[in-house]
């Protein structure tokens, strides 16, 4: 995939997350929110020549971006996205928690988009 394709996938996943939330499918909304973040991280990493093929690479990417920008919210918001990913498997979050989590994902995407070029 290319950087642009990753960016487009991120946008598509976020739209799907909102649609799944509206339909009450909290597991799918959670996973699509996570996917929106990881696709944008892949776009950033791809552009910079960083590895991005494994889950552990996302943690490294986030650490590098936090250090680069000085924005601690990047790490915190990524933690929320990670909790949404966990919810896909556990399905224990309430509607409000997933909705709030997706708001945080939107905030993270807003911070990351300029870094994707």
**Which residue, among 1, 68, 90, has the nearest Cα to 39 in the 3D structure?**
1
Q: How many folded domains does the chain comprise?
A: 1
Instruction: Report how far apart the first and last C-alpha atoms of the chain are (Å, whole number).
Output: 16
Cα distance between residue 16 and residue 19, in whole Å: 5
pLDDT (tens place) for every residue of the chain, 117 residues total? 788 899 999 999 999 999 999 999 999 999 999 999 999 999 999 999 999 999 899 999 999 999 999 999 999 999 999 999 999 999 999 999 999 999 999 999 999 999 998
Domain range for 89 is 3-116
Percent of the chain as helix, strand, coil, to the nearest 5: 85, 0, 15
Please give the model's pTM, rounded to 2 decimal places: 0.96
CATH number of domain containing 88: 1.20.120.330
């Amino acid at each position: 995939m290319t950087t642009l394709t990753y960016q487009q996938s991120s946008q598509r996943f976020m739209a799907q997350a909102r649609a799944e939330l509206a339909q009450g499918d909290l597991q799918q909304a959670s996973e699509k929110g996570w996917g929106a973040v990881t696709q944008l991280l892949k776009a950033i990493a791809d552009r910079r020549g960083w590895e991005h093929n494994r889950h552990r690479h996302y943690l490294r990417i986030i650490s590098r971006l936090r250090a680069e920008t000085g924005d601690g919210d990047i790490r915190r918001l990524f933690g929320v996205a990670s909790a949404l990913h966990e919810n896909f498997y556990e399905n224990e979050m309430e509607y409000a928690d997933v909705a709030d989590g997706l708001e945080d994902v939107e905030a993270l995407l807003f911070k990351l988009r300029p870094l994707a070029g």
